[in-house]
């Protein structure tokens, strides 16, 4: 088990990244508010470490929201257009023991690396790790992670 008690996946995920977004809580809040007002549920929100006045800011949503995302792009996106791509699956590793277990992320990343599965985005909390991977790698990723965490 190694800290993980359940592995789930979700297909048809879209990744939206704002490269070089302004490094301020206000700017990021304004970006997300546009999508919230449009009724778009976002997930896996991730920000890079700041580089001066800029950060890279990403989130995922269902690919079913593609048209709504395109329509809702904030005014700032016209200066720095986002990168939008589809064809991803989100793998979620969950475990209540994760908070006190060492090496959970390392075990997961090593299992995927052994299968040559690249990770587009990672987010974590005390109880889960979410990994965004290419949808065509989903079955191999699930098998590798199930084996790595002895959940068969």
Query: Rounded mean pLDDT of 11-25?
Result: 94
pLDDT confidence of residue 78: 67
> How far is the C-alpha of 31 from the C-alpha of 26, rounded, in Å?
9
pLDDT confidence of residue 77: 74
Query: Rounded mean pLDDT of 104-127?
Result: 97
Query: Rounded mean pLDDT of 52-69?
Result: 95
Tell which residue, 97, 74, 94, 77, has the closest CA to residue 19.
77
pLDDT confidence of residue 151: 95
1 in Cβ contact with 50 (< 8 Å): no
Domains and CATH numbers, the chain: 6-11+88-148 (3.30.2130.10), 12-87 (3.30.70.260)
User: What is the 3 state secondary structure string of 10-69?
Assistant: EEEEEEEEEEEEECCHHHHHHHHHHHHHCCCCCEEEEECCCECCEEEEEEEEEHHHHHHH
């Amino acid at each position: 088990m190694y800290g993980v008690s359940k592995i789930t996946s979700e297909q048809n995920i879209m990744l939206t990244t704002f490269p070089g977004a302004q490094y301020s809580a206000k700017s990021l809040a304004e970006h997300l508010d546009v999508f919230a007002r449009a009724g778009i549920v976002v997930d896996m929100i991730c920000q890079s470490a700041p580089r001066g006045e800029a950060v890279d800011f990403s989130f995922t949503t269902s690919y079913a929201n593609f048209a709504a995302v395109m329509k809702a792009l904030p005014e700032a996106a016209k200066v720095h257009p986002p990168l939008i791509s589809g064809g991803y699956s989100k793998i979620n590793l969950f475990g209540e023991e994760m908070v006190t277990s060492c090496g959970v992320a390392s075990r997961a990343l090593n299992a995927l690396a052994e299968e040559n599965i690249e990770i587009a985005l990672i987010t974590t909390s005390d109880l889960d790790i979410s990994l965004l991977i290419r949808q065509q790698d989903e079955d191999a990723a699930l098998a590798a992670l199930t084996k790595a965490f002895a959940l068969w």
